[in-house]
Structure 1
Amino acid sequence: MIVFKGAAVQARWTSPAAFPGTVYAASRNGWMEEPQFFHWFTTSFINHISKKRIDMDMPNATALLLYDGHASDISLRIMQAAIEANIQIIKFPSHLTDMIQPLYKCVFGPVKKACDRQLVEFGRDNIGVLTGRLQKRDFVNMLSLMWTAAITKSNIVSGFSSTGIWPLNRARFPGTAFESHQLAAH
């Protein structure tokens, strides 16, 4: 989901060349808030899980959503939708996402590096051209290319392995790592 700053998503901000399955939302500050998360969860995530259950011939399988636990991502209606769809939601401990969130570890890093390169190239190619600003539609196209390059089976598997989530590796992070972050958070 791409969340734009604004009252509503304008068609000119979207692109048919976007990464497959991309959905759009808008918020006053451009951040994911509960209404946007609920929209993504109920229209994208639950639908994706339903299709996966059919493809894998596992119609009653419990799905798991691991997330950073930001306050905007939790509400009674989200929990009700999760229960109805047989999805368990597990929140990562606060202030540890950079250490134990698989996407942060091995997917978002390559996206950020590619984004930095693309933005430098865009700036170089557009010096003195119109406003020289990256338009939202161009950002969507650019993000699609970066996302496609970073969402690889290898990166995803590395994310889960390096965090000790799968295969389970309880020794990956000593308990003291969690204690020091919890103390720093308070």
Structure 2
Amino acid sequence: MVTIIECVSAAGAAIGPLVIHEGAEKDGEWIRANPCGSGLAASPNGWTNSEVAYEWLVEIFDPQTAVYAKGSKRLLILDGHISHCSLKFILYAARKNIVVLLLPPHTTHRLQPLDVGVFGPLSHAWKKVVKDLSAKGYLIRKNNLI
């Protein structure tokens, strides 16, 4: 299982993704096979959790968006699912002038255009690519995913 956290501004600028793989810790081989410099994380089930979300906020979102904000407030819109946010996350955001807007859990497919117009079709296309490659005997592993 692999999860990818993506973030795009209202102006259309994207920051680097965070790729989360299933495992107890970051895999050294996987880190070395990361040519595009994506953020990498691990969780027991390959999904985001409060610790991974905090890591993304501190290591990816904050530094990559602060340069554009120039001291102004930044708005971060998130699915309000408990796994995406914690008190530590909210307190860090407040200290860094990041306003967090939590949408009702499991409503992003209706309320966030990226989920409908970008990530849904991308997920569908990726599944087709994986199926086609698998049919040709190609194995997709953590070290050749990115």
Instruction: Name the structure with the higher strand share.
Output: 2
Task: State if a TM-score over 0.5 links the two structures.
Answer: yes
Alignment: residue pair count:
128
**Residue 113 (structure 1) aligned with residue 124 (structure 2):** yes
Match of 1:16 among 34, 40, 49: 34
- Asked whether the equivalents of residues 63 and 86 of structure 1 are also in contact (C-alpha less than 8 Å), the reply is yes
- Asked whether the equivalents of residues 9 and 26 of structure 1 are also in contact (C-alpha less than 8 Å), the reply is yes
* AA at the equivalent of 1:25: A
Where structure 2 has 5 or more consecutive residues not aligned to the other structure, the ranges are: 1-17
**TM-score of the pair, normalised by structure 1:** 0.63
- Asked whether the equivalents of residues 81 and 104 of structure 2 are also in contact (C-alpha less than 8 Å), the reply is no
Larger radius of gyration: 1
- Distance of 1:16 and 1:136 partners within structure 2: 10
Deviations 1:76-115 (A, max 9, x none): 2111111111111111123322111122111102311220
- Distance of 2:128 and 2:103 partners within structure 1: 30
- Asked whether the equivalents of residues 4 and 25 of structure 1 are also in contact (C-alpha less than 8 Å), the reply is yes
Counting only pairs closer than 5 Å after superposition, residues 66-105 of structure 1 correspond to structure 2 as: 66-105=77-116
- Asked whether the equivalents of residues 6 and 28 of structure 1 are also in contact (C-alpha less than 8 Å), the reply is yes
What is the aligned-residue RMSD (CA, Å)?
A: 1.6
Per the TM alignment, residue 3 of structure 1 is displaced from its structure 2 partner at its CA by 1.1
Per the TM alignment, residue 8 of structure 1 is displaced from its structure 2 partner at its CA by 0.7
Instruction: Name the structure with the higher helix share.
Output: 1
Identity %, equivalent residues: 27
- Asked whether the equivalents of residues 81 and 106 of structure 2 are also in contact (C-alpha less than 8 Å), the reply is no
- Distance of 1:48 and 1:120 partners within structure 2: 34
**TM-score of the pair, normalised by structure 2:** 0.79
- Match for residue 138 of structure 1? 144
- Asked whether the equivalents of residues 92 and 101 of structure 1 are also in contact (C-alpha less than 8 Å), the reply is no
Distance change >3 Å, CA 31–CA 95, structure 1 → 2: closer
Deviates more, 1:69-78 or 1:37-46: 69-78
Deviates more, 1:97-106 or 1:33-42: 97-106
Counting only pairs closer than 5 Å after superposition, residues 160-175 of structure 1 correspond to structure 2 as: none
Counting only pairs closer than 5 Å after superposition, residues 56-71 of structure 1 correspond to structure 2 as: 59-71=70-82
Deviates more, 1:28-37 or 1:8-17: 8-17
